[in-house]
Amino acid sequence: MTDLLQHQIDYYRARAPEYDEWFYRLGRYDRGEAHTRQWELEAQQVRDQLRSQAGFAHILELAPGTGIWTGELIQIGRRVTAVDASPEMININRAKLQSDRVEYQRADLFAWQPEQQYDMVFFGFWLSHVPAEKLTAFLNAVNAALKPGGRLFMVDSRARDLATAHTGAEDLGTDLQKRVLKDGRRFDIVKIYYEPAELSEILRGHGFAIEATSTDNFFLYADGVKAT
């Protein structure tokens, strides 16, 4: 498992320069105008839900990547602490946002423990990369990072992305995928797809009053609070 998780970190470090192509449906991920339009409509649905509450003093973002969601968080919070294992992702995020309201920390999230509590915790497209045997420890750390009544918001993939499959990605059985970069390098990573009811039950079992839902095709998201 240690080798697999290091492989996953190596993958996202190497993928950093091309990560935005996936989210914005560019290059290898362009499946046509109708697909892109539907993707953008559903992404906006998630953004609208995220923006439905604002005024947070301090937000913690785990696995912020290139800043796609960090840019949203600085619209609803005064400060953001962004924690990622990849210096390449952090560098892109910092250059993109150029915000003195974002503090960056480099850490392996499977070893990370919070040193304070926050008004909100957010993670995007991360939970699906947490192996089942690490899930409880990770969610316990998230719970510890939230103030009582603090907001938890997460977004992830609803199901297998046909555009990603077009790049040569392969399922390797339960909870594993092989991913291929543009230069042909291949990496094995954890990838778990949750259903809304299943995810709701898991999060509630770890101390959150929360409801997971999905968009029509692409996204799974959950919005709730730390139970008091």
For the chain, the first-to-last Cα distance in angstroms comes to 34
Q: 46: which 2 tokens?
A: 């998630």
Residue owning tokens 């995020």? 93
pLDDT, residue 174, reads 76
Q: How far apart are CA 110 and CA 106, in angstroms?
A: 12
pLDDT, residue 1, reads 67
Grouped pLDDT means (10 residues each) for the chain, 228 residues: 87 95 94 96 98 98 98 98 97 98 97 96 97 96 98 92 66 83 93 96 98 97 96
pLDDT, residue 93, reads 98
Q: How far apart are CA 130 and CA 149, in angstroms?
A: 25
pLDDT, residue 208, reads 98
State the CB neighbour count (10 A cutoff) for residue 184.
Answer: 7
pLDDT, residue 163, reads 55
Antiparallel, parallel or unpaired: β 176-180 and 170-171? antiparallel
pLDDT, residue 198, reads 97
Q: What is the pTM of this model?
A: 0.94
| Per-residue DSSP letter, 84 | E
| Per-residue DSSP letter, 194 | -
pLDDT, residue 170, reads 74
